[in-house]
């Protein structure tokens, strides 16, 4: 091939770079990370302080996040003997585990209670969505937090960001993927969704698209100017062509000098393993129907496929921002719109992970940022309540069929040991093999301890109902 031919064939690629400013590899929502980020000088592998390496309990963590905060009274911590203004309209039903009851509108999860453990004594002192979301999704309180403090680079890193920093990957698979929506409302961007003080290089990929939509595609794995992952994978000379155009790239304002990270960038673009994870049409109609033909069900199916592809932290946001923030008509909303798809999708997820053996190496946790008030308000809803809320955990050594913690007769406060989001964070990091005293450095190279919680050991030793 002549130099002229090479130049001609490369022109569409270069025009795409100028037009879009980069071949986009992932979208972090608040601060995107693209190919230029991946082409920077590789960071030196982080040191984990003086901590002793520990054996991971899990290869992956799958977070089912009930954004807006589901009512514990009306799901997994029902109080049928409480006054009507506390107990609500729903009835508890027996589960497969003797003595454990859940809401009547969760029949499939009731039938699978022998696969998970419920924690009923989570607690913290905040009732603000943004700060509480940060606390739960990072395991630490938001630095300088105040009411509706939006996301910033002063925030603590989320679990995927910390893992990417401490255990950087070189195989083209991201350390974290969030889906199917970014938690954003008007001017408010929810904190806890990115790598915070570690910088955008360690942000998880953010997928913004409905997996249930017939034309669902992921921009993170779709290139501009008619190039897609499959076609790019067949063009094994692309990196070489880009190298020939290095001078032109350096002249572009968005470009960086290609270096040893180019192979990582290329592998991310061409990873057939990752690309196939997003192809939900490879699943049979029967499987897709079991998860539910809705956003919740197909998001959970996609989350399972990403775990199978080797993504270590996957977060599936169930609903858009504040979907579970039911200040009014809580019973109608839960019964008709929210609980049935959650029941169907999470049950199918547990079934598939368990039957494939992946549940043994995947920590699944379902949780919101806080609970709901014991007393039903005038709008037939429940308001924010940080002092007591629930979480559901399965897999990766978690005891099956148990209850951890106990709340008082109105589910207002824990009667047994209260577990904070810091403890949740310690548990997540321990599952991933990250020791409690792991140390990270912020973008100013200041050392900080990653987490100051305690592992919830009762999750592993049979509970303390």
Residues 322 and 414 in one domain: yes
Closest to 419 in 3D by CA, of 377, 379, 364, 457: 457
> Which residues does the chain have with pLDDT short of 70?
1-53, 219-271, 463-465
How far apart (Å, rounded) are the C-alpha atoms in residues 138 and 120? 20
Q: How far lies 409's CA from each of 330, 373, 375, 449, in Å?
A: 21, 13, 12, 38
pLDDT at 211: 96
Residues 122 and 208 in one domain: yes
pLDDT one-digit tens code per residue, 6-29: 444 333 333 332 333 222 223 333
Residues 258 and 404 in one domain: no
Domain-located, residue 429: yes
92 forms bridges with which residues in the sheet?
103
For the chain, first and last CA: distance in Å?
73
Report helix, strand or coil for 30.
coil
Tokens of 414: 């824990």
How far apart (Å, rounded) are the C-alpha atoms in residues 140 and 283? 38
Contact 227, 12 (CB under 8 A): no
Domain extent at residue 268: 1-41+219-277
Domain-located, residue 464: no
- Domains in the chain, number: 2
Domain-located, residue 138: yes
Domain-located, residue 52: no
What is the DSSP-derived secondary structure letter of residue 391? E
Domain-located, residue 241: yes
Residues 370 and 420 in one domain: yes
Residues 265 and 403 in one domain: no
Residues 21 and 149 in one domain: no
How far apart (Å, rounded) are the C-alpha atoms in residues 228 and 245? 21
pLDDT at 218: 76
How far apart (Å, rounded) are the C-alpha atoms in residues 144 and 155? 9
Cis peptide before 453 (omega within 30 of 0): no
Residues 206 and 304 in one domain: yes
Residues 395 and 342 in one domain: yes
Residues 123 and 176 in one domain: yes
Domain-located, residue 350: yes
CA atoms within 13 A on the CB side of 175: 22
Domain finish residue from 277, 305, 323 = 277
Contact 348, 296 (CB under 8 A): no
At residue 120, what are phi and psi to the nearest 5 degrees? -110, 15
pLDDT at 13: 30
CATH number at residue 210: 3.40.720.10
Residue 380 CB-density burial (10 A; 0-12 exposed, 13-18 middle, 19+ buried): middle
Range 259-282 burial, b when 16+ CB lie within 10 A, else e: eebbebbbbbbbbeebbebbebee
pLDDT at 271: 64
Instruction: State the DSSP H helix or E strand holding residue 265, giving kind and residue range, or none if neither.
Output: helix 262-270
385 forms bridges with which residues in the sheet?
371
């Amino acid at each position: 091939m002549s130099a002229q031919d090479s130049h001609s064939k490369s022109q569409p690629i270069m025009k795409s770079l100028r037009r879009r400013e980069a071949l986009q590899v992932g979208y972090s929502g608040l601060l995107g990370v693209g190919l230029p980020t991946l082409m920077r000088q590789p960071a030196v592998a982080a040191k984990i302080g003086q901590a002793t390496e520990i054996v991971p309990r899990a290869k992956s963590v799958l977070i089912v996040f009930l954004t807006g905060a589901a009512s514990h009274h009306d799901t997994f911590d029902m109080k049928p003997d409480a006054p009507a203004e506390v107990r609500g309209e729903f009835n508890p039903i027996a589960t497969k585990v003797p003595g454990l009851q859940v809401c009547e509108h969760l029949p499939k999860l009731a039938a699978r209670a022998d696969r998970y453990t419920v924690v009923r004594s989570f607690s913290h002192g905040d009732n603000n969505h943004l700060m509480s979301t940060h606390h739960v999704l990072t395991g630490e309180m938001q630095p300088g937090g105040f009411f509706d403090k939006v996301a910033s680079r002063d925030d603590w890193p989320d679990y995927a960001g910390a893992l990417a920093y401490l255990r950087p990957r070189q195989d083209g698979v991201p350390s974290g993927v969030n889906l199917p929506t970014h938690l954003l409302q008007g001017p408010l961007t929810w904190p806890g969704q990115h790598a915070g003080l570690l910088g955008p290089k360690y942000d998880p990929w953010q997928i913004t698209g409905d997996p249930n939509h017939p034309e669902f595609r992921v921009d993170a794995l779709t290139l501009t100017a008619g190039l897609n992952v499959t076609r790019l994978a067949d063009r094994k000379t692309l990196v070489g062509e880009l190298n020939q155009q290095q001078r032109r790239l350096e002249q572009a304002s968005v470009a960086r000098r290609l270096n040893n990270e180019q192979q990582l960038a290329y592998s991310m673009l061409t990873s057939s393993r990752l690309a196939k994870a997003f192809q939900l049409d490879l699943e049979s109609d029967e499987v897709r129907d079991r998860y539910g033909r809705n956003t919740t069900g197909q998001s959970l199916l996609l989350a399972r496929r990403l775990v199978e592809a080797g993504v270590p932290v996957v977060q599936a946001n169930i609903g858009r921002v504040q979907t579970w923030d039911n200040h009014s008509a809580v019973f109608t909303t839960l019964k008709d719109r929210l609980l049935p798809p959650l029941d169907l999708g999470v049950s199918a997820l547990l079934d598939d992970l368990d039957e494939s053996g992946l549940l043994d190496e995947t920590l699944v946790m379902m949780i919101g940022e806080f609970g709901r008030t014991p007393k039903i308000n005038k709008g037939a809803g429940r308001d924010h309540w940080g002092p007591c809320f629930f979480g559901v955990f399965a897999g990766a050594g978690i005891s099956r069929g148990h209850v951890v913690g106990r709340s008082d007769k109105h589910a207002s406060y824990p009667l047994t040991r209260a577990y904070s989001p810091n403890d949740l964070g310690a548990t997540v990091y321990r599952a991933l093999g990250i020791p409690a005293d792991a140390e990270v450095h912020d973008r100013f190279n200041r050392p900080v301890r990653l987490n100051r919680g305690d592992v919830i050991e009762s999750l592993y030793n049979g509970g303390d109902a």
